[in-house]
């Protein structure tokens, strides 16, 4: 029961605050303190934040390896790095798809507070949390879109052929725009 309240507090207050402050290491530490097998709805809450942090942390190093492998005449590490970037890209698509569910989950939690002083939040605090969460989710979508663009810029260059790039990166630009639009409309 205490763990459920702590988890709700993290999703409602701490996670949006850390995203807005760009303190992803703190968010990772806080989320790491939960036993995911005992947390209800981890996949639509904590896992979304955890996937976001992992993508933000993993991508810069992978892109750096791509740049250095293309400079070093490809010593065999390029394929592994391309697979890693392809995996990160796939996670980005899944993350973009999961952000609206995070917003919906927050809406249902805040609905409990609106119009009454339930739990430990006043109606005004619940409204402020809703705004902060919406902005944090929007920021996450912006970061993911920027990272997708960075991946496509790195893959689209001399690193791999256009055919290989299209197999690694299955989301067409129109689909990416549509997903971003749907995400923006849902918050």
pTM more than 0.75: no
- pLDDT for 30 equals 96
Place of tokens 């609206």: 100
Place of tokens 């619940």: 126
* Mean of per-residue pLDDT scores for the chain: 74
Q: What is the pLDDT of residues 130-185, one digit of tens each?
A: 888 888 988 898 888 888 888 777 766 433 333 334 443 444 444 455 556 566 66
Higher per-residue pLDDT: 157 or 25: 25
Residue 45 above 80 pLDDT?
Answer: yes
Q: What is the pLDDT of residues 55-89, one digit of tens each?
A: 888 888 877 877 776 666 555 555 667 777 777 77
- pLDDT for 75 equals 52
Q: What is the three-state SS of the chain? A: CHHHHHHHHHHHHHHHHHHHHCCHHHHHHHHHCCCHHHCCCHHHCHHHHHHHHHHHHHHHHHHHHHHHHHHCCCCCHHHHHHHHHHHHHHHHHHHHHHHHHHHHHHHHHHHHHCCCCCCCCCHHHHHHHHHHHHHHHHHHHHHHHHHHHHHHHHHHHHHCCHHHHHHHCCCCHHHHHHHHHHHHHHC
């Amino acid at each position: 029961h205490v763990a459920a309240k702590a988890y709700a507090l993290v999703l409602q207050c701490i996670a949006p605050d850390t995203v807005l402050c760009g303190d992803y290491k703190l968010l990772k530490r806080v989320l790491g303190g939960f036993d995911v097998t005992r947390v209800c709805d981890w996949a639509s809450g904590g896992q979304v934040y955890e996937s976001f942090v992992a993508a933000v942390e993993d991508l810069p190093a992978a892109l750096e390896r791509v740049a250095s492998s293309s400079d070093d005449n490809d010593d065999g590490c390029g394929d592994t790095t391309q697979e890693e970037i392809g995996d990160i890209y796939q996670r980005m698509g899944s993350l973009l798809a999961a952000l609206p569910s995070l917003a919906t989950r927050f809406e249902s939690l805040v609905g409990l507070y609106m119009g009454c002083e339930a739990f430990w939040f006043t109606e005004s605090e619940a409204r402020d949390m809703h705004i902060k969460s919406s902005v944090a989710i929007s920021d996450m979508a912006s970061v993911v879109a920027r990272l997708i663009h960075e991946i496509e810029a790195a893959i689209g260059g001399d690193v791999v052929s256009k055919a290989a790039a299209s197999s690694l990166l299955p989301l067409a630009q129109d689909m990416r725009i549509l997903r971003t639009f749907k995400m923006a409309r849902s918050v």
